[in-house]
Amino acid sequence: MPPRKLKVTLTEIGQLDDVCPHCGQRLNKRPSRKTACPHCKQFIFVRTRPIDRQSVLVTEEQAKLLQNEWGSFPRARISPSLDKQEMEKCRERLAEKFGKSPPDMDVAWAYLNQETMHHAKQRDWGLYRNTRLSMAAILEDHQKPAEALKYYL
């Protein structure tokens, strides 16, 4: 059985500024939860978007879209806030080593392996654990449950 391909499209939905997503009027104070706009009386929702973990002001429809994005977001994968420069360095090192462009899984694995070593050296065990869970999820996606179990444990 081939590995599952997850297609997650993340968008920059919502307002980062203190502006109503309905009418565009500036708000006196940024809401911290669902509230009605003082200008247009429409509800403003406060949500965190998965693409950059920013708190944004959204409409009800946009809140539903963000909820769907979070629902389709892989549960224990490489964070969207990963160091893209480091990933590219890993890709270049592997390409040089193998003489060809490496598959994305190999690049992700090399990056995560590098991260686990870094977190262990720093004794940052929470981040070490999270990285190992990401490695387990990659193995699980590639139909290697016995190997994944080792990382989950």
Mapped onto helix, strand or coil, the DSSP state of residue 129 is helix
Query: Residue 2 has what pLDDT?
Result: 46
Is 24 buried (19+), middle (13-18) or exposed (0-12) by CB count in 10 A?
A: exposed
Query: Residue 117 has what pLDDT?
Result: 93
* 59 in Cβ contact with 21 (< 8 Å): yes
Domain boundaries, the chain: 1-73, 84-152
Structure tokens, 100: 């060809």
Is residue 56 over pLDDT 60? Answer: yes
Assessment of whether the complete model's pTM goes beyond 0.75: no
Query: Residue 82 has what pLDDT?
Result: 62
Query: Residue 6 has what pLDDT?
Result: 47
Is residue 9 over pLDDT 60? Answer: yes
Helix (H) or strand (E) holding 56: strand 55-58
* 30 in Cβ contact with 23 (< 8 Å): no
In sequence order, the β-bridge partners of residue 45 are 58
Is residue 116 over pLDDT 80? Answer: yes
